[in-house]
């Protein structure tokens, strides 16, 4: 038998609503970011550039760590989050480059 439904306190409901809104915004922001990185992947493939740019990635990590610190977010978490995104971007760029090479 399930526990009886309890009313959610107003403050908890309000906070959950805010979290839901933030999650939706994050998804939309990530979608926009990946649209831009897809275009970068196409340009890299057209120019014969490698999918990964370690120098740019190092700059981004340093920048993100500073932004996280300034925002009072754990910089280690921010770096892990960026690493996850960058790994996915590189995978996309490799796929784009492979498709470009097959058409050439």
Q: Considering the domain boundaries, does residue 23 fall inside one?
A: yes
Return the CATH number at 23.
1.20.59.10
Q: Considering the domain boundaries, does residue 1 fall inside one?
A: no
CA atoms within 13 A on the CB side of 22: 6
Q: Considering the domain boundaries, does residue 2 fall inside one?
A: no
What pLDDT sits at residue 3?
Answer: 56
In terms of phi and psi (left: phi > 0; alpha: psi -120 to 50; beta: otherwise), the region of 6 is beta
DSSP H/E element including 68: helix 54-70
Task: Give percent of the chain with pLDDT exceeding 90.
Answer: 87
Long-range Cβ contacts of 98-103 (<8 Å, 24+ apart): 99/45, 100/42, 100/45, 100/46, 101/45
The pair of three-digit structure tokens given for residue 83, joined into one six-digit string: 């690493």
The pTM of the full predicted model, rounded to 2 decimals, is: 0.80
Q: Considering the domain boundaries, does residue 83 fall inside one?
A: yes
Q: Considering the domain boundaries, does residue 4 fall inside one?
A: no
Residue 69: CB atoms within 10 Å: 12
Q: What is the mean pLDDT of residues 75-85?
A: 96
Domain count, the chain: 1
Domain that holds residue 48: 10-103
pLDDT for 1-19, tens place per residue? 455 678 889 999 999 999 9
pLDDT for 33-51, tens place per residue? 999 999 999 999 999 999 9
Contacts of 34 (CB under 8 A, 6+ apart): 88, 89, 92
What pLDDT sits at residue 6?
Answer: 82
């Amino acid at each position: 038998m399930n526990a009886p439904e309890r009313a959610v306190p107003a403050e908890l409901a309000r906070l959950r609503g805010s979290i839901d809104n933030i999650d939706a915004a994050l998804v939309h922001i990530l979608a926009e970011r990946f649209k831009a990185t897809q275009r970068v992947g196409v340009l890299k493939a057209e120019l014969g550039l490698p999918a990964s740019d370690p120098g740019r990635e190092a700059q981004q990590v340093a920048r993100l760590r500073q932004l996280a610190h300034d925002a009072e977010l754990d910089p280690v978490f921010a770096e892990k989050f960026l690493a996850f995104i960058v790994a996915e971007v590189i995978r996309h760029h490799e796929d784009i480059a492979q498709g470009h090479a097959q058409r050439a």
